[in-house]
Structure 1
Amino acid sequence: MAILKGSITDDKIYSNYLDEEIDLLIYLPSRFTPLVKYPILIAQDGRDYFQLGKLAKTADRLMEEDQMQSCIIVGVNHKGITDRKAKYDPAGEKHENYIRFMAFELTPYLNEKFNTLQLGAGMGLIGDSLGGYVAFKLSLLYPNTFGKVILQSPYVPESLIETVEAIEQMQTLTIYHSIGDEEDQFTNPEGITRDFLTPNRKIKNLLDQLALDYEYTEFQGNHLWVNWQKDLVPALMFLYNNH
């Protein structure tokens, strides 16, 4: 049986916080109708998630098999490695304004453009590595806006661990969190080797103590798209389970 495919279109939004135009990719499910309210999933590294992660293709299949709710997926694109670091890295010069853009410009724009579920559970985030850090930070800062999160091998600095340690209750969030069992030795594009696994396990232990809808998994392998792509199936099914 042929899988019905949703549509992917380009869009743009001007950010006053960043003083630049941001390119978006927007996926609408195959049976999309403006009469129905849809949840929205926003992906950092938008182009990579659509091309390398096969996010739209995976969602098409899961929706067609009735294993996932119909949802709109929005990919937020950056302008390359330098721009990504400036926006996603907590020390990046555009980082704080990028966080503001996501919360105060992109979210209202999407709520206006589409018939959305206006509750926190209606707006989800997905990110890998530094993009995972951004997704996690946004959900901690604005849990009533971003109620669902997929974290794939997120960068977890000490400051994030301290933030989570200070939280007493956070039951509004649904979190899917994965990391590779070989990520204690991850060498980034700049040639710096970091241990991603240990801080992710620390965060997992802290999140386990909170009354969350929380799923943690360790996959076999390292910090690679081939692993995140496979991991999307359980991640999407956990966040948007149709049963």
Structure 2
Amino acid sequence: MNKIDQIFYSTKLNKSIKYTVLTASENIKDAYVLYVQDGMDYIELGGIEIAIKDLIKMNPQLTNHLVFVLIHPGSSIERWESFSRKGNSFINYIHFMNDEFIPKFEKTIENLHMKISKRGLLGDSLAGNICLNIAMEKPEIWTHLLLQSAAISVDDILQLEKVQPKWNVYQTVGLHEDDFISSISNEKLYILTRNRQLYESLSLKDVNLQYKEVEEHHLWRVWEEDLPNALRFFIET
């Protein structure tokens, strides 16, 4: 596994953002690019490197396709400010991703003669929320959304009514997640209820939707166990 740590300076956010690129080959021509929010957590808590290696063991041909871009939002406060609709950096973070980071990163891919055939977003909790909002701003460029217990709000769901996406969406949530209280805002996020509402809204769209409820709480252990399923969905659809 090739692992490269980089730093990107964002004028939209007026700060540097750390990110990591994971690939299994230097000879990628047909790229499946997955942008992962909460990237460091997916490395340290989510077992993403092991999940990728296991995927490749089962499907060696994936070696020449997979490109994972893991973005690290910073501290818990910086994360909340960027990923929550109530955060001061929420709009700027979406513009950072869509107008700064992705165009520059994909220009690098083009220079290496890679063609992108799949472009997806993966995120847990509030990182799932920012994934949805990044995709809603430019719905036409995305093929996949992988949402693990996305901490979305009513306003995020209402925003979806304005969009006509053609995505492949993997959505999972725990049956006990309505009880989760944010350590930053000290509010109940009603994650199960909002995910059910999101599912209903997506069901009315032209999307390929896989939705799953599990007997679990709002925990990294749950997302780590579920991650191989999410990644297989990305690969197979």
TM-score (structure 1 length as normaliser): 0.88
Query: What residue in structure 1 maps to residue 115 of structure 2?
Result: 117
Secondary structure, counterpart of 1:41 in structure 2: strand
Tell me whether 1:153 sits opposite 2:153 in the alignment.
no
After superposition, the Cα gap between the structure-2 partners of 1:106 and 1:155, relative to the gap in structure 1 and judged at 3 Å, is same
Q: Which amino acid is 2:115 matched to?
A: L
CA distance in structure 2 between the partners assigned to 1:68 and 1:92 by the alignment: 41
CA distance in structure 2 between the partners assigned to 1:210 and 1:42 by the alignment: 23
Query: Map of 1:96-107 to 2, 5 A cutoff?
Result: 96-107=91-102
> Which deviations, in whole Å up to 9, do the C-alpha atoms of 1:195-230 show, x marking residues without a partner?
211111011112112221111011221111000011
Q: Which amino acid is 2:171 matched to?
A: H
After superposition, the Cα gap between the structure-2 partners of 1:228 and 1:199, relative to the gap in structure 1 and judged at 3 Å, is same
Q: Give the counterpart of 1:55 among 29, 48, 57.
A: 48
Contact kept, 8 Å, 1:103 with 1:138, in 2: the verdict is yes
> Which deviations, in whole Å up to 9, do the C-alpha atoms of 1:47-95 show, x marking residues without a partner?
0011100112101111220188431111111221111111111121111
Secondary structure, counterpart of 1:130 in structure 2: helix
Query: What residue in structure 1 maps to residue 139 of structure 2?
Result: 143
> Which deviations, in whole Å up to 9, do the C-alpha atoms of 1:99-136 show, x marking residues without a partner?
01100111112212224434xx5221111111100001
Contact kept, 8 Å, 2:28 with 2:114, in 1: the verdict is no
Query: Map of 1:174-213 to 2, 5 A cutoff?
Result: 174-190=168-184, 191-213=186-208
Secondary structure, counterpart of 1:194 in structure 2: coil
Query: What residue in structure 2 maps to residue 20 of structure 1?
Result: 15
The ranges of structure 1 where at least 4 consecutive aligned residues each deviate by more than 4 angstroms after the TM superposition are none
Contact kept, 8 Å, 2:29 with 2:115, in 1: the verdict is no
Q: Which amino acid is 1:52 matched to?
A: L
Query: Map of 1:51-90 to 2, 5 A cutoff?
Result: 51-66=44-59, 69=62, 70-90=65-85
Contact kept, 8 Å, 1:165 with 1:206, in 2: the verdict is yes
Q: Which amino acid is 1:173 matched to?
A: W
TM-score (structure 2 length as normaliser): 0.91
CA distance in structure 2 between the partners assigned to 1:67 and 1:231 by the alignment: 21
Unpaired runs of at least 5, structure 2: none
Identity rate of aligned residues, in percent? 26
Unpaired runs of at least 5, structure 1: 1-5
Secondary structure, counterpart of 1:60 in structure 2: helix
